[in-house]
């Protein structure tokens, strides 16, 4: 009988073998790498990845850092990362995301840093960040947000007990709707 920890180890070993063979290139993993000796850090940036579900299903569950920047990801399916319960850093910057409809980050309660910089995000559902109780840093610089209801953070303030840093600068004509008691802007007024 194979125990669950052994299954996880076998998946990690299998993934390592795939990275070292030419067969991995057919799955969009050309150039993806592990940050040795830390097998829990995976870099899959600038690989023309469009199908996030396919890529994530091939990754081991025990990763803590996943860099998917500089790809062609347009949609994050609900619960796409839910099997990665230990994921602490997720970089989805420089993709083609247009909206966050809610549920994309379900199961990522220990996620500390979420980078959504340089996408085309114009809409964020009020429940998009539900369950991110460990989130400390949220980066959304250089998107095309025109309005952002702060109810995303007001309604879910108990969901962000660890939030220390949020950047929203360089969004086209971003207006923060007045539904919170106070907002502190940087001296330039360009970020929150």
Residue 178: left (phi > 0), alpha (psi -120 to 50), or beta? beta
Q: What percent of the chain has pLDDT over 70?
A: 66
Q: How many residues does the chain have?
A: 192
Highest mean pLDDT among 1-5, 159-163, 179-183 belongs to 159-163
CA distance 24 to 14: 11
Count CA atoms within 13 Å of residue 108 on its CB side: 28
Structural domains of the chain, ranges and CATH numbers in brackets: 4-177 (3.80.10.10)
pLDDT digits (tens, 9 = 90+) for 101-130: 999 999 999 999 999 999 999 988 888 888
Strand pairing report for 123-124 and 147-149 = unpaired
CA distance 150 to 175: 10
What global pTM score does this model have?
0.74
Which of 6-15, 125-134, 152-161 is predicted least confidently? 152-161
């Amino acid at each position: 009988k194979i125990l669950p920890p052994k299954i996880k180890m076998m998946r990690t070993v299998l993934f390592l073998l795939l990275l070292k063979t030419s067969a991995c290139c057919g799955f969009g993993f050309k150039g993806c790498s592990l940050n040795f000796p830390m097998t829990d850090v995976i870099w899959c940036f600038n690989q023309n990845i469009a199908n996030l579900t396919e890529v994530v299903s091939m990754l081991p569950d025990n990763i803590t850092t996943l860099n998917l920047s500089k790809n062609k990801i347009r949609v994050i399916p609900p619960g796409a990362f839910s099997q990665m319960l230990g994921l602490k850093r997720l970089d989805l910057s420089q993709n083609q995301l247009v909206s966050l409809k809610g549920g994309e980050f379900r199961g990522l309660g220990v996620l500390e840093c979420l980078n959504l910089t340089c996408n085309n995000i114009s809409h964020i559902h009020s429940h998009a960040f539900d369950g991110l109780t460990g989130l400390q840093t949220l980066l959304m610089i250089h998107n095309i947000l025109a309005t952002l209801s702060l109810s995303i953070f007001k309604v879910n303030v108990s969901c962000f007990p660890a939030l220390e840093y949020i950047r929203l600068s360089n969004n086209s004509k971003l207006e923060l709707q007045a539904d919170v008691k106070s907002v502190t802007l940087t001296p330039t007024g360009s970020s929150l």
